Structure 1
Amino acid sequence: MAEIHTDIVEENFYSDSNDSIQEDIHFQQFRKFFVPCMYVVVFICGLAGNFLVLVIHIFYQKRKSLTDMFLMNLPLADLLFVCTLPFWAYASIHEWVFGNIMCKTLLGIYTLNFYTSMLMLTCITVDRFIAVVRATKAYNEQAKRMTWGKAICLTVWVVSLLASLPQVIYGNVLHLDRSICRNNDEEIFTVILATQMTLGFFLPLLAMIVCYSVIIKTLLHVRGFQKHKSLKIIFLVVSVFLLTQTPYNLAKLIGSTSWEYETMISFDYAITVTEAIAYLRACLNPVLYAFVGVKFRKNFWKLVKDIGCPYLGPSSQWKSSEDTSKTCSASHNAEVTSMFQL
């Protein structure tokens, strides 16, 4: 009876082992297809959208506000971020072949611009809060706010650079079953994970919850203002942030609670898919923070005309938007509370 029991246990062990190997093979096949495709989509859309935003803000935006200043730094950060994706896409299909120096450099660039992008989103949120809740004061102190804005932008880049240094220092090429580029120090990796979740998720989320709650309350008491448009864009901004960033950060948080999750194939699927979804922010940021703006749309049509593309002129809907813009500009409060006057 003992021998029969042992045979059954061994048979179950080998059966489970074979199933595990098959699952791992299927996951690797899925990852080799899914990750490069998502990275290429984010790279192409993010490169085109953010480059367009940057060009228009630099060459066509005559009167630059504090929000415009933040919006110039946001696409710059996203551009540098998406430019690292082709390297990671190739490495996910084959292996890391770009050397140790490139590994450290790209890890640093990736992390630097991840922090910069998220902190700029936080700055934009706080700036809109001040512009709406402290409308008159913000209008009267525009010059001072611009000076502070430059200092804030510089601070964001410096903080992001310092936060990305551990990736540069401890990032290396590891030779396992294939060469991969990653941080190989578990303690430092834990610190990096905690910093990323704090600066890259919880801080922007807290800022959005607090600031946009007060903004909504303020807008509801504003008269003679198209508040429904502002409320729509607020809802859109918060929804996109939550839908793209929450799943990945939740998966990372769950994975950090127990090492057992690292051995689960289902958890590998969750991390891979949610990470790709989180990267979509680089494509959606230009749409949310620039293309919805009346000023940006007008400057976009100027760019289209200047480069010689067929120009039919803005439709009546565009003109209506411009009329709305002029109407809102009649008072300080209406001007600064408009979420579309970017």
Structure 2
Amino acid sequence: MEQNFTYLLGSGGSEEILVSYTSSTPNSSAAYEYAFDYSELYIICHPESIPAFAPTLFPVLYSLLFVAGLMGNALVLWILTVFMKIKTMTDVYLLNLTVSDLLLVFSLPFLVQYSVESQWTFGNALCKVISSVYFIGFYSNVFFITIMSVDRYLAIVHSFRVQGIRTTAIGFLTSLVVWTVAILASMTDLLFFQEVNDNDQIKCLPHYPDGNNGWKTFSNFEANILGWLIPVVVLIFCYHSILKNLQKCHTKNKYKAIKLVFVVVIVFFLAWTPVNIVLFLDSLRNMSIINDCQISQRLDLAIELTEALSLVHCCLNPIIYAFVGEKFKRHLLNAFKKSACFLSNCKGYGAFSGHSLDKHSSLHTKSSQLSSVGTVL
């Protein structure tokens, strides 16, 4: 007579080791012989519980990023459209970078609610829309930072060759191509993100056909290549060439420009590298190359942490690309003066009209044409 048993052999943390064995009882003997079938030994890896700090950290962090990102990028958008009037290719790219930042910023209130309640309450349609807006903002943000680096490279290293090419028309056409590529790169998220029931909680997650992780791996590698590898290569090439060119210059803004170059590269690297490393590890997990239980448990939390870190970049972009520019700062100061005069019914409001600033800007532009560094960096 034979009987099958399955016993819990041991438990360590979140790993449970189950052992299946057979008991054999011959009729002629009361002795028991145990035949362990080690081929049936397996490990169940339970998802790690949410750390105690997560329900407090993420809502506060997302809220701060929302306020800072909205104020900074809205201010840049106001100055660009009302006072600067989009006169150069650099202005066009800065405008589009600001719009892509705002796309990421507008998804943050939904992330706040998602973090607080730990479930999605806005419906399936908004699940698709918000996830698509987030990823379009992600790709377009990285693409426009890359395009602005190429624009700076051309304006400084090949200034005489590209004078007729760096126009607003070409800038808008290039921006249209960038937005198209960003939308196409986000199509998998638009198709697969939907409301799903996960342990009796409604979540907004990617749901792949037949549980196939191939699409998830493809999406991760797409983000790694389009959202990090190619941009990093382009940034390193462009800013290395710019630094070599700056070393030959003898302008008073030389060292300020060099510092700005390092800031752009270092901030981009610190913001986007961690999340891409974690996505790469997630791909290895999907392909069963990583099957360690503890590492797998921590990957989901690491993805959320590094994504939050990358969102800091949309708050820093206005500072890096707009507020450090002399031309932008003059327009910003003029805007505040106009606003202050308007609120206090200042009689000398006309003294701060855009004509005097435009005249000053044109003089500055003519003088700075001797060195493209001042107008681009």
Common fold by TM > 0.5: yes
Pairing 1:164–2:186 present: yes
Secondary structure of the structure 2 residue equivalent to 1:52 = helix
Q: Out of 150-159 and 130-139, give the one that drifted further.
A: 130-139
Pairing 1:35–2:62 present: no
Supply the AA of the counterpart residue of 1:35: F
| Aligned residue among 281, 285, 295 for 1:258 | 285
With over 3 angstroms needed to count, the CA separation of the structure-2 counterparts of 1:224 and 1:246, relative to structure 1, is same
Indicate if the aligned counterparts of 1:49 and 1:283 stay in contact, CA closer than 8 A.
Answer: yes
Indicate if the aligned counterparts of 1:104 and 1:171 stay in contact, CA closer than 8 A.
Answer: yes
Q: How far off its partner does 1:333 sit?
A: 4.3
| Aligned residue among 112, 118, 123 for 2:142 | 118
Secondary structure of the structure 2 residue equivalent to 1:258 = helix
Indicate if the aligned counterparts of 2:45 and 2:293 stay in contact, CA closer than 8 A.
Answer: no
Larger RCO: 1 or 2 (CA < 8 Å, sep 6+): 1
Whose strand fraction is larger, Structure 1's or Structure 2's? 2
Supply the AA of the counterpart residue of 2:83: Y
CA distance in 1, matches of 2:247, 2:364: 18
Secondary structure of the structure 2 residue equivalent to 1:179 = strand
Supply the AA of the counterpart residue of 2:269: L
Indicate if the aligned counterparts of 1:103 and 1:181 stay in contact, CA closer than 8 A.
Answer: yes
Q: TM-score, normalised by structure 2?
A: 0.77
Indicate if the aligned counterparts of 2:246 and 2:254 stay in contact, CA closer than 8 A.
Answer: yes
Identify the residue that residue 237 of structure 1 maps to in structure 2.
264
| Aligned residue among 135, 154, 158 for 1:134 | 158
Q: How many residues matched?
A: 318
CA distance in 2, matches of 1:192, 1:56: 36
Deviations 1:259-306 (A, max 9, x none): 436763333443232221111011001110001011111111112122
Q: Out of 123-132 and 215-224, give the one that drifted further.
A: 215-224
CA distance in 1, matches of 2:279, 2:85: 43
Supply the AA of the counterpart residue of 2:206: N
With over 3 angstroms needed to count, the CA separation of the structure-2 counterparts of 1:262 and 1:289, relative to structure 1, is farther
Identical amino acids, percent of aligned pairs: 30
* Structure 2 unaligned regions, length at least 5: 1-5, 17-43, 347-359
CA distance in 2, matches of 1:262, 1:287: 42
| Aligned residue among 300, 306, 311 for 1:274 | 306
Identify the residue that residue 213 of structure 1 maps to in structure 2.
240
Identify the residue that residue 99 of structure 1 maps to in structure 2.
123
Q: How far off its partner does 1:329 sit?
A: 4.7
Indicate if the aligned counterparts of 2:80 and 2:95 stay in contact, CA closer than 8 A.
Answer: yes
| Aligned residue among 367, 370, 373 for 1:330 | 367
Pairing 1:182–2:205 present: yes
Secondary structure of the structure 2 residue equivalent to 1:194 = helix
Secondary structure of the structure 1 residue equivalent to 2:248 = coil
Q: Out of 210-219 and 33-42, give the one that drifted further.
A: 33-42
Q: How far off its partner does 1:108 sit?
A: 1.0
Structure (1 or 2) with the larger CA radius of gyration: 2
With over 3 angstroms needed to count, the CA separation of the structure-2 counterparts of 1:330 and 1:162, relative to structure 1, is same
Identify the residue that residue 84 of structure 1 maps to in structure 2.
107
Deviations 1:209-245 (A, max 9, x none): 0000000001101234521011000000111111111
Identify the residue that residue 56 of structure 1 maps to in structure 2.
79
Indicate if the aligned counterparts of 1:255 and 1:261 stay in contact, CA closer than 8 A.
Answer: no
Identify the residue that residue 11 of structure 2 maps to in structure 1.
13
Secondary structure of the structure 2 residue equivalent to 1:173 = strand
Identify the residue that residue 303 of structure 1 maps to in structure 2.
335
Q: How far off its partner does 1:189 sit?
A: 1.9
What CA RMSD, in Å, does the superposition of the two structures yield over aligned residues?
2.9
Pairing 1:151–2:173 present: yes
Q: TM-score, normalised by structure 1?
A: 0.84
With over 3 angstroms needed to count, the CA separation of the structure-2 counterparts of 1:296 and 1:180, relative to structure 1, is same
CA distance in 1, matches of 2:271, 2:140: 17
Supply the AA of the counterpart residue of 2:136: L
Indicate if the aligned counterparts of 2:88 and 2:167 stay in contact, CA closer than 8 A.
Answer: no
With over 3 angstroms needed to count, the CA separation of the structure-2 counterparts of 1:58 and 1:106, relative to structure 1, is same
With over 3 angstroms needed to count, the CA separation of the structure-2 counterparts of 1:73 and 1:36, relative to structure 1, is same
Whose helix fraction is larger, Structure 1's or Structure 2's? 1
CA distance in 2, matches of 1:234, 1:68: 18
With over 3 angstroms needed to count, the CA separation of the structure-2 counterparts of 1:117 and 1:63, relative to structure 1, is closer
Secondary structure of the structure 2 residue equivalent to 1:330 = helix
With over 3 angstroms needed to count, the CA separation of the structure-2 counterparts of 1:131 and 1:153, relative to structure 1, is same
With over 3 angstroms needed to count, the CA separation of the structure-2 counterparts of 1:49 and 1:157, relative to structure 1, is same
